Every structure is written in structure tokens, then in C-alpha cells.
Amino acid sequence: MATASTTLPTSPAAEVSSEEAQIAAEGAAHVRARRPRGTGSLARRMMLIAAGWISILLLIGGMFLDRTLTSQVTRSFDEQLGYMLTGMIGSAEIGPDGEVFFNRPLGDQRFLEPNSGLYWQIRGKGHEDFPSRSLWDRSLQVPDGHFDSEPHTYDSSQFSGEPLRIMERSIILPGSNTEWMFTVAASRVQLNDQIKSIRSILFYSFFFLGLGLLAMAGLQTWYGLFPLRHVRRAIRRLRTTGAAKVTEPLPTEVQPLVEELNALLEHTDRQAQEARTHAGNLAHALKTPLTVVMNAATARAPDLGDTVIREAAVMRRQVDHHLARARAVGRRAAGLSRAGVWPSLEAVLRAVERLYESTRFDLAGNREAQVALEKQDLEELLGNVIENAAKYGGGSVFVTVDETKDPQWCEIWIEDDGMGIPEAERARIFDRGARLDTGKPGTGLGLAIVRDVAEIYGGSVELDESEDLGGLLLKLRLPRAVA
């Protein structure tokens, strides 16, 4: 018997919501992927460096201090043994029976107390050992077969549960030929307790000193980086209130960053203003041709086609002009530009000479000059001014590169032997569409483009009279490339 299976239909709303959730998740993942990764916290770096150096310095300092204090305590302990050994030797004599005896009792009472932790012993070859009463039924195991003319100190564990510090010296007493080994031994328990106490004090002192230094480093890091929080709040205020720049007083180390930020904001604002002005100029330039076309189309003028072609050409010239200006602004903002003047001039002259074969072109000046422009913009400037000189000149064009040798600016002079431009008309000639000679083809935008592009890079254009050729002298002043 076949079993029928049924599938519940999926709700369209559920499908839509699941798709929206998937799209939202993909969008969030895309935003996270595009978010630049940080290089870590400055505070964490500073604290890690501080913690590392503090730990290393405290460890090295603690080791040296521990060794110094331990050596000092051990040396003081050995000096006490030395005093006792010297007293033993000074009090020792040889009796009639050839044995050693003391002519006066030793001063320390512990030598008389059994297992007191302070012992002495005298040993001579062929003689019985002469021990202190504190040794009781024990004896000090002193190595034989050597002669110590100076006190010899060492540690020993020959007594179970009682580490010893032993000092010995070999002496030949008057009236005897025997080499007597005088030995003093003291329990190291007291010495070890002192060393342990010193190390405990050092450990806790350096531990709390390290904590204090880390706390001070943390406070220093927090206080030292606090101006960056001011900068962050100031930037947030710029974004929320629309302020033009950061005006809060900040430390000397942060002030250059703020100045660069203010310069960037000013540059961005200037670019936005240029963009608004540029858009307004383009809209204004296109408004009149569009109005003429609209009026002609509304009136069904018989020359509508010619009107559309003529006004479309005007609009095209305006669009080309504004596109050239926009490209120059974009390339200037892209970074530091550099172009050689002489190679660009040679490339432009090769193109212009084909159009004006009867014109003589002379090129002179600095062959190594470089300007802070993009090569394409530089060739567009030079192409416009040289073509104008060839078009309106009398057959000679003279180009001089870097005439003034200014360290900041490179001037390019373009001279022709034409009629020139009257001084009263030189300012108007830079207006868009302005033409003094309407008998020759042209758009009237060449010098306007030259002026706009030059000003975008911080340069300028100036017109004068050529003293050598008698025609027009155009001085193109451009920023020199930094070496």
C-alpha cells in the first residue's frame, strides 16, 4: 500500500523575511570585511613594554642585591668563626706529655653545652683528637693530608639535620713538630634563617615595588594618551556639529597631528567648495544653450537643426572644459606629481609642427627642469598655449624653460611674433569663450583651461609683450618638483 506524503507550503512572508535576513547578514559581513584592521592598542603596547622592562630590571636588581646581602651575612658569620679560631690558636700550648691544652678557657659558653651548635676540635697526627664538650660523643670529620696555612672555610652536612659552617687552619705550635689542625664549626641554621629572611624581604619588597611601578606605568599611559581622547571627541564634534577644525589646545606632541588634521579638513572643504562651484558653473554654462534649443523647438523654428547643432557644440565645449578641470583636480589630490618639462615640450612640438608646418619653433632653457604636475596636465597646458602662439603668431614661436631660476617656481615663456593682445584685453581673454580674433577657428576655451588647470596646481598665467619678437609673451608659472 503506497503512503502519500504531503509537504506543507512555505509562507511567502517567511521566504521574504529569510531572504532579507540573509541579505542583512551578507551586508554586515561585507561591512566587517571592509573595516580596516587595527594594529593593536597603544596602551597595551606601552604597558607590555613597561612590564617587560620592569620585570627584567627588578629580576636583575634582585639577583645582584640577594647575592650582595647573602655574601655580606655569610662574611660576617665567617668573621665570628675567625675570631674564635684565632682565640683557640692564641690559647693553645703543648703540655709536658706532648698534648695540646688551653692556658685559659674559651669565652663562648656554647662550647661547654652539648649539641649547642658551636664546636671546636684539634687534631694532630699520632695524637688523640681534642674536642670541645659541645661535641659530646661526636667528632668533626676533617680531611687529612693537607696543610692550610690560612683559614679555610667550607660547608658540611656531616651531622644529620644540622648543616655546618666549618673553618680550619693548620698550625705547628712551639715545642712540637706536629701539624695541628684547629677546627671551629657552627651550625648554619641561624645563618640560613637570616638568608631566608633577607630573601623574603627582598621578594615582597620587589614584588610590591613592581606592582607600584606597573600602576605608575598604567597611570602614565592613561594620562599620556588622554589627549588622544580629546582628539577623538573633537573629531566626533566635527562630525556632529559641522565645525570646520579642531580648536582645543593640546600638548606639543599631539599638536602636529591636529594641524595636519585641520589642514586635511581645510583641503577637503576647499575641494567640496570647488566641486560646488564647478557644478554651478557647468549648470550655468549649459542653461543658456538648453534654453535656446528649448525656445527654438517650442517655436518650431525652421533652422531648428542648425540651432541644435550649434548649441550642442557649445555645450560640448563646456563639458570638455569642465571635465579637463575635474581630471586635473582628481590627479592633484591623488598625491605628489612630477613631470619633466623638456620631454613634454618636445612631445607637444612634434604634434603642433604637423599642423603649422610653416611656423618656426625654437626651444631653449633648462633641460632638467621638473614641475609638480601630472604629465598629461602639463602637456595639455603646453599644447594650448603653443598652439595659440602658432595660430595667432606671424610664423615664429620661441619657448624658454626656467628663465628665472626660482627655487620654488618654474617659469615657461612662450613668445610669438604676432599682433599681440592689448593690455586692456589681457584680463578678458581668460574668460570662457572669449576670442579676440573670430576669423580663425576656435572655441575660446584654451586659455581658460590653461588658467584653471595652472591654478589648481597652485600656478599662474600672465600675459605680457615680447621684447624679442614683438608679439605676445605668455608666462606660465608652475610649482617646481621637490628634489
Q: Kindly report the three-state secondary structure assignment for every residue of 118-139.
A: EEEEEEECCCCCEECHHHCCCC
Helix, strand, coil shares of the chain, percent, nearest 5, are 55, 15, 30
% of the chain beyond a pLDDT of 70: 82
The tens digit of pLDDT for each residue in 216-239 reads 998 888 888 887 787 778 778 777
> Is 42 a member of any domain?
no
Same-domain status, 380 and 329: no
Measured distance CA(335)–CA(327) in Å, rounded: 13
Contact yes or no for 387/351 (Cβ under 8 A): no
Pairing of strands 360-365, 180-187: unpaired
Measured distance CA(397)–CA(389) in Å, rounded: 6
> Is 301 a member of any domain?
yes
Query: How is residue 338 written as a grid cell?
Result: 612630477
Same-domain status, 450 and 363: yes
Same-domain status, 146 and 187: yes
Average pLDDT over residues 12-18: 45
> Is 60 a member of any domain?
no
Contact yes or no for 213/233 (Cβ under 8 A): no
At what angle are helices 304-334 and 375-392 packed, to 10 degrees? 130
- Which position has the higher pLDDT, 148 or 318? 148
* Residue 60 exposed, middle or buried by CB count within 10 Å (0-12, 13-18, 19+): exposed
The tens digit of pLDDT for each residue in 276-286 reads 766 766 776 67
Same-domain status, 95 and 155: yes
Question: Which CATH number characterizes residue 315's domain?
Answer: 1.10.287
Measured distance CA(307)–CA(3) in Å, rounded: 80
Measured distance CA(412)–CA(410) in Å, rounded: 7
Of the candidates 145, 176, 195, which is a domain's last residue? 195
Same-domain status, 270 and 355: no
Same-domain status, 105 and 171: yes
Per-residue pLDDT at 216: 92
Same-domain status, 131 and 160: yes
Same-domain status, 272 and 158: no
Place of cell 595636519: 260
The tens digit of pLDDT for each residue in 409-429 reads 999 999 999 888 888 787 777
Mean pLDDT of the chain, nearest integer: 80
Terminal CA-CA length for the chain = 93
> Is 153 a member of any domain?
yes
Same-domain status, 346 and 314: no
- Which position has the higher pLDDT, 355 or 326? 355
Measured distance CA(42)–CA(46) in Å, rounded: 6
460 Rama class: left (phi>0) / alpha (psi -120 to 50) / beta:
beta
The tens digit of pLDDT for each residue in 433-455 reads 444 444 444 434 567 778 888 88
Same-domain status, 349 and 419: yes
- Does the pLDDT of residue 67 top 90, yes or no? yes
| Spatial strand order in the sheet of 130-131 | 130-131, 118-124, 180-187, 162-171, 152-159
Confidence of residue 69 (pLDDT cuts 50, 70, 90): very high
Query: How is residue 347 written as a grid cell?
Result: 612631445
Beta bridge partners of 396: 360
Measured distance CA(336)–CA(436) in Å, rounded: 37
The total number of structural domains that make up the chain: 3
Measured distance CA(475)–CA(451) in Å, rounded: 11
Domain ranges, residue 267 = 256-334
Per-residue pLDDT at 362: 92
- Report residue 20 CA to chain centroid gap: 43
> Is 212 a member of any domain?
no
* Residue 1 exposed, middle or buried by CB count within 10 Å (0-12, 13-18, 19+): exposed
Average pLDDT over residues 313-323: 71
Question: Which CATH number characterizes residue 475's domain?
Answer: 3.30.565.10
Residue among 411, 415, 364, 379 at smallest CA distance from 394: 415
Per-residue pLDDT at 3: 43
> Is 62 a member of any domain?
no
Residue 175 three-state SS: coil
36's enclosing H/E stretch is none
> Is 226 a member of any domain?
no
Measured distance CA(390)–CA(396) in Å, rounded: 7
Contact yes or no for 340/373 (Cβ under 8 A): no
Contact yes or no for 151/167 (Cβ under 8 A): yes
- Look up residue 120 and give its amino acid: W
Of the candidates 334, 354, 372, which is a domain's last residue? 334
Per-residue pLDDT at 13: 41
Neighbours of 267 (CB within 10 A): 11
Residue 57 three-state SS: helix
Same-domain status, 352 and 463: yes
Contact yes or no for 48/162 (Cβ under 8 A): no
225's enclosing H/E stretch is none
Of the candidates 143, 163, 195, which is a domain's last residue? 195
Contact yes or no for 209/58 (Cβ under 8 A): yes
Per-residue pLDDT at 167: 93
Same-domain status, 182 and 273: no
For Cα atoms 290, 291, 294, give the angle at the middle one, nearest 5 degrees.
85
> Is 34 a member of any domain?
no
For Cα atoms 64, 67, 69, give the angle at the middle one, nearest 5 degrees.
105
